[in-house]
Amino acid sequence: MSIFWLRVALALYGVGLLYALVALTRTSDLLNRIALHAAYLGMVFHLVSLTEGVVFTGHITFAMVHNSESLLAFLIMSVFMITYLIYKTTSPGIIVFPLVFLLTFMAATRQQPFLNLTPGMRKGWLGAHIALIFIGYAALVLSFCASLLYLIQQRSLKTKRPGILSRLPALEEIDQIGHRSLLLGFPFMTLGLIAGSVVAESVYGRVDLQDPKILLSLLMWAVYLVMVYTRWIAGWRGRKAAVLASVAFAAAVVAWAANYFSTIHRFVAS
């Protein structure tokens, strides 16, 4: 049943996506409102789907693993909505809507994976690991969106041709959105990785650094550390920051996909 609600949510996100893309090329408050309301409604059904997942599996940790893409999409959406409430801008939607749609689409059409649970695994730590990492992912995705928007806005200001993108928020506001979500996401990511290593310790007695997923996660974390550091010390923003954010994002995507070829993180029953 949870997959049904998820598909309803998917349809609503689709509506939001469509209108958001149309709204890009023309000025229309109405379209913006339709997109937002579709997204709100989509989130409600999404939440229903996630809750049913928990009820069905009977355990919050299993549910999180079973619906990982779905959960991530929901969290990204939540961060987007919070940004909207604070900054009154839907501009990140240009990137957020397609991404959320894609993730939900994957979740709604895919076979449910199975978690390879070993006896003696610390379920609490595993739950914390997943929750923290996912919140981190969601915040960092938004930070990545913001750095792309920053580049677009900077370009339109430099070339002195405002064009259709002149409705983006001010450069410093975009920068603030990106920076704040980076500062929010980074600690979650860090704590999530720590929780993960506790789980790994408990199961294998060590953290396997040769596992591709773990390696990539560490790489991603290191890039984020560099980002926070360069921002702190030299105030890096714009092009340099966007390059770093892209590398980190690419690492994050690959790390996510590594579920399919990692030995430890094998969700799918072999």
Partner 1 sequence: MRFQLIGVNHKTAPVEVRERLAIPESRLPEACKKLAEHPGIDEAMILSTCNRVEILANTKNGAGADLRGFIQSYFQLDGTELNKHLYEYNEREAVRHLFRVAASLDSMVVGEPQILGQVKEAYATARAVGAVRAQLDQLVTRAFAVAKRVRTETAVGSSSVSIASVAVELAKKIFGNLHGKQVYLVGAGKMSELAARHLMAHGCASIFVANRTYDRAVSLAYKFQGQAIHFEDLHNTCDRADIVITSTGAPRAIFRPEHGELFLSRRKNRPMFFIDIAVPRDVDPAMNKLDGIFVYDIDDLQQAVASHVADRRKEAERAEAIVATEVERFHARIQTLDVVPTIVSLQDHLETIRQAEIDRVRGRLGPLSPDQEIAIEALTRGIVNKIMHTPISTLKTAAREAEATTVIDLVKRLFNLQEKRAAKSGGENS
Nearer to partner 1, 27 or 118 (CB): 27
Minimum separation from the CB atom of position 64 to partner 1 (A) = 37
Give the span between the Cα atoms of 209 and 206, in whole angstroms: 9
DSSP 8-state assignment for residue 177: H
Nearer to partner 1, 110 or 155 (CB): 155
CA distances to 15, 146, 162 from 156, in Å: 28, 15, 5
Minimum separation from the CB atom of position 160 to partner 1 (A) = 5
The three-state secondary structure class of 1 is: coil
Among 85, 209, 234, 269, binds partner 1 (CB under 8 A): 234
Nearer to partner 1, 41 or 157 (CB): 157
Give the span between the Cα atoms of 178 and 24, in whole angstroms: 20
Nearer to partner 1, 20 or 174 (CB): 174
Nearer to partner 1, 26 or 206 (CB): 26
**68-85 as b/e: b if 16+ CB within 10 A:** bbbbbbbbbbebbbebbe
The three-state secondary structure class of 27 is: coil
- From 66-74, 95-103, 228-236, 243-251, give the range in contact with partner 1 by CB under 8 A: 228-236
Give the span between the Cα atoms of 225 and 182, in whole angstroms: 10
Minimum separation from the CB atom of position 37 to partner 1 (A) = 18
Minimum separation from the CB atom of position 31 to partner 1 (A) = 12
Q: Are 70 and 46 in contact, with CB atoms under 8 Å apart?
A: yes
Which parts of 155-184 interact with partner 1 (CB under 8 A)? 157-158, 160, 162, 166, 169-173
Nearer to partner 1, 17 or 151 (CB): 151
Does residue number 154 form part of the binding site for partner 1 (CB under 8 A)?
Answer: yes
Q: Nearest CA to 178 among 245, 230, 239?
A: 245
Q: If residue 47 lies in a helix (H) or strand (E), which one and from where to where?
A: helix 29-57
Minimum separation from the CB atom of position 142 to partner 1 (A) = 18
Minimum separation from the CB atom of position 87 to partner 1 (A) = 9
Does residue number 208 form part of the binding site for partner 1 (CB under 8 A)?
Answer: no
Give the span between the Cα atoms of 152 and 166, in whole angstroms: 10
Which parts of 105-124 interact with partner 1 (CB under 8 A)? none
Nearer to partner 1, 172 or 208 (CB): 172
Task: Tell me the site size for partner 1, rule CB under 8 A.
Answer: 21
Does residue number 88 form part of the binding site for partner 1 (CB under 8 A)?
Answer: no
The three-state secondary structure class of 169 is: coil
In SS3 terms, 186-250 reads as HHHHHHHHHHHHHHHHHHHCCCCCCCHHHHHHHHHHHHHHHHHHHHHHHCCCCHHHHHHHHHHHH
Which parts of 238-257 interact with partner 1 (CB under 8 A)? 238-240
Which parts of 5-34 interact with partner 1 (CB under 8 A)? 27, 29
| Contacts to partner 1 by CB under 8 A | 27, 29, 153-154, 157-158, 160, 162, 166, 169-173, 234-240
